[in-house]
A and B are shown apart, each in its own frame.
Chain A
Amino acid sequence: MSGRIFLLGDNIDTDQMAPGKYMRGGIDMLAAHCLEGVRADFPTDVRTGDVVVAGRNFGVGSSREQAAEALKHLGVAAVVAQSFAGIFYRNAINLGLPVLVCPDISALTDGAYVTLDLEAATLILTISGDTVALDPLPDNLKVLLADGGLIPHLKKRFAGENVR
């Protein structure tokens, strides 16, 4: 499935994705304000399958996983960034949202259509057919993503333990 790129800058913090003011509410409320302080069109325009592309240190700040959850709730298919803050990175994988490091994002322009090939760790630009290399995920994280996140993964594990 292809989606559009929403291109963002460096150091996009989790307060922007899940603003403190709305943290007492549910995910619908948080998602409705996701990244509105960075670009106002994001929560209203983003569609299922779109890809967030960003610069360095995406997800810096608070450990609130509603940051990753809000992106997933809005249908974001993946986040591709030059680097991620550690806690956000783990949260996203745990929630089943693919997050991939892309050392060179210069070919990725705002609004361009792309398709993610998770297995090959590439982004394919729809119009030109060009591919952009992503860093492959470590094996343990591939397993987590393939299971759909940490909860389904643990369910499998507990079911296995019960069988034994």
Chain B
Amino acid sequence: MKTTLAQKIIARAAGLDHVTPGEIATVKVDLAMIHDSGGPRRVEPILRELGVGLFDASKVVLISDHFVPGDTDEGARILAMTRDWADKYEVAFHDGQGICHVVLPERGHLKPGMLVVGGDSHSTTGGAFGTYMFGIGATEMAGVLATGEIWLKVPETLFVDWHGRLTEGVTAKDMMLATCGRIGMDGGGYQAIEYTGEAVSGLSMQERMTLSNMAAELGGQAGLIAPDAVTAAYIARSGGDAGDWNWLKTDTGAPLMAHHTMDAASLEPQAAAPHSPANAAAVSEVGATPIDVAYIGACTGAKYEDLKNAAAILQGQSVGSGVELLVAPASRRDQQRAEQDGIMAVFETAGAKILPNACGICAGYGTHRLGENVTCISSTARNFKGRMGAASSYVWLASPYTVAASAIAGKIIDPRAFLAVGGGAA
């Protein structure tokens, strides 16, 4: 029988030979990731009420990112209780090391074929490694921590199939904004999205993570990419072991719910207008909207390669007058690597302000928030009304390239003009 990658992983985790889309399956969880917001402060009272401990502390990873740096009294208290909880249960704990979706694979926790739950909606990011990873709320997470199990409705699979190769200045983020524009924020129908095609195979792991991350904005339960040699090499570098991954692919001819074909070669840099990622259009078509703030941050848009792309634009340039450029590298390791490569120096010379390795303005939990009537262009995943600050603020979404170029110009602009100048070849 021809089956999908999603079916194969779920069947394995359910201890069954085969599962069928639509059936309810109870699966064993290989790993559970929690963070400081939905984690200890929410699950501990439930575990106490149930009178149980963790199903397996070696399968739980805790990462602090939402309330880091603890710039409010309540946030600092939540971080303190997060640290106490890590000590009490002796789980793997990455404290202040960056955003969970980036830190988890960076530290070698993910392996192709795993069934993983995360206490955050962007947990779809793990799908880039050929793991079936999805987000759940805190009560459900407490249930997983207590039992090691979760139910799911075996999903249908829809392909987002990218033909051709991306051109210079166009990235995974542009691919995702274009996909949001095409199929909408509920186009995924809480099924499994699988990214395929030449353009996907050609991406690095961090770029693939951006595709899987924004499966959340397509309404997918998971955003999968079949593992390959690129995946295995990343995992080996991160101290993990990819194991046998050759079986982890959708069989040719397996039934699909939908097959969306997209063209990478003709894709232009994209920008999504307030207040939805689905309001995407080519930057060349949206007009030169003036901006006040440019934000390079979040699991979606501030990984090492995102920083590198932004720096390629900002090299030898400075931020436009009246514009504030804020950079919150997604992980400490990515920031350290960017320091070694001179990327952080480019940001500082250009006049950017560097923020902690945390969810920052994207989550909007701390003191850094957008003010009244501020227009921001952001490398993050969501531009919902009021999410990043005042309800009167406007957030445009774009790639790190486009955010950097717009920071220089003071208005939303196609970044390729800067790349042509910097590269000396137009």
Q: Which residues of A contact B (CB under 8 A)?
A: 11, 13, 15-16, 19-21, 23-25, 37, 56-57, 60-65, 68, 83, 85-87, 89-91, 94-95, 138, 140, 149-151, 154-155, 158
Contact = CB atoms under 8 A, between A and B. Distances in A.
B224 to A, nearest CB: 15
Given A65-B139, A94-B140, A151-B139, A85 B384 contact: no
A11 B187 CA distance: 12
Chain B CB count within 10 A is highest, among A15, A24, A140, for: A24
Contacts of A155: 49-50
Interface stretch (B67-75, B225-233, B301-309, B315-323): B67-75
Closest 7 CB pairs of A and B: A65-B137, A86-B190, A20-B364, A91-B137, A24-B74, A57-B186, A63-B121
A56 B139 contact: no
Contact of B386 (A37, A56, A60, A140): A37
A61 B51 contact: no
B278 to A, nearest CB: 8
Given A64-B137, A91-B140, A15 B50 contact: no
Contacts of A57: 185-186, 219
Chain A CB count within 10 A is highest, among B52, B75, B153, B219, for: B219
A64 B38 contact: yes
Interface stretch (B83-91, B143-151, B288-296): B143-151
Given A16-B386, A68-B137, A94-B139, 6 more contacts: A11-B186, A24-B67, A37-B391, A63-B38, A94-B137, A150-B142
B385 A140 contact: no
Contact of A24 (B72, B136, B139, B146): B72
Sort chain B's interface into a size bin: 35 or more
28 contacts: A11-B186, A15-B364, A15-B384, A15-B386, A16-B386, A21-B364, A21-B369, A23-B365, A24-B75, A24-B365, A37-B385, A56-B186, A61-B382, A63-B121, A64-B137, A65-B42, A65-B137, A83-B186, A86-B219, A86-B221, A89-B190, A90-B137, A91-B137, A94-B143, A95-B139, A155-B50, A158-B51, A158-B52
B72 to A, nearest CB: 6
A80 to B, nearest CB: 17
B382 A154 contact: no
Given A25-B74, A63-B136, A15 B221 contact: no
B384 A61 contact: yes
Nearest to A57: B186
B49 A151 contact: yes
A32 to B, nearest CB: 15
B335 interface: no
A149 B78 CA distance: 26
A154 B50 contact: yes
Contacts of B74: 24-25
B121 A20 contact: no
A63 B119 contact: yes
A20 B139 contact: no
Contacts of A19: 364, 386
Contacts of A150: 139-140, 142-143
A20 B365 contact: yes
A61 to B, nearest CB: 6
Contacts of B139: 65, 91, 94-95, 149-151
Nearest to B72: A24
B101 interface: no
B143 A85 contact: no
Given A20-B363, A91-B137, A154-B50, A63 B120 contact: yes
Interface in B35-90: 37-38, 42, 46, 49-52, 66-67, 72, 74-75, 78
B140 A90 contact: yes
Contacts of A89: 190
Chain B CB count within 10 A is highest, among A37, A60, A86, A155, for: A86
B384 A16 contact: yes
A11 B176 CA distance: 18
A36 B54 CA distance: 38
Contacts of B120: 62-63
Contacts of B52: 158
A136 B139 CA distance: 24
B137 A87 contact: yes
Nearest to A162: B51
Interface in B371-410: 382, 384-387, 391
B300 interface: no
Interface in B123-141: 123, 135-140
Given A20-B364, A60-B219, A158-B52, A90 B136 contact: yes
B186 A60 contact: yes
Contacts of B219: 57, 60, 85-86
Contacts of B382: 13, 15, 61
Nearest to B42: A65
A89 B186 CA distance: 13
A158 B186 contact: no
B97 interface: no
Nearest to B121: A63
Contacts of B24: 138, 140
A64 B37 contact: yes
